[in-house]
């Protein structure tokens, strides 16, 4: 089981889709009021997050 501090929850389906497009697959899905994509927090997801914030993730 992965600890809570080692996961990233993404609500934005476009952002989650771009993570998948760039080779990172979600480890789980949740549904509360929206679909939540859960990814493992690591160097790759950190880099993708930086690119997302800088509008450089395609």
Q: Counting every residue, how long is the chain? A: 58
Q: Which two tokens stand for residue 18?
A: 């771009």
Q: What pLDDT does residue 22 have?
A: 97
pTM: predicted TM-score of the whole model, two decimal places = 0.90
CA distance between the termini of the chain? 31
| Cα 3 from Cα 35, distance rounded (Å) | 20
pLDDT digits (tens, 9 = 90+) for 4-54: 899 999 999 999 999 999 999 999 999 989 999 999 999 999 999 999 999
E strand or H helix at 53 = helix 43-53
Q: What pLDDT does residue 24 have?
A: 98
| Cα 32 from Cα 16, distance rounded (Å) | 16
């Amino acid at each position: 089981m992965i600890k809570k501090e080692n996961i990233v929850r993404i609500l934005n389906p476009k952002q989650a889709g771009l993570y998948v497009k760039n080779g990172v697959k979600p480890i789980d899905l949740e549904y509360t009021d929206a679909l939540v994509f859960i990814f493992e927090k690591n160097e790759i997801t950190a880099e993708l997050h930086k690119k997302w914030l800088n509008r450089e993730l395609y």
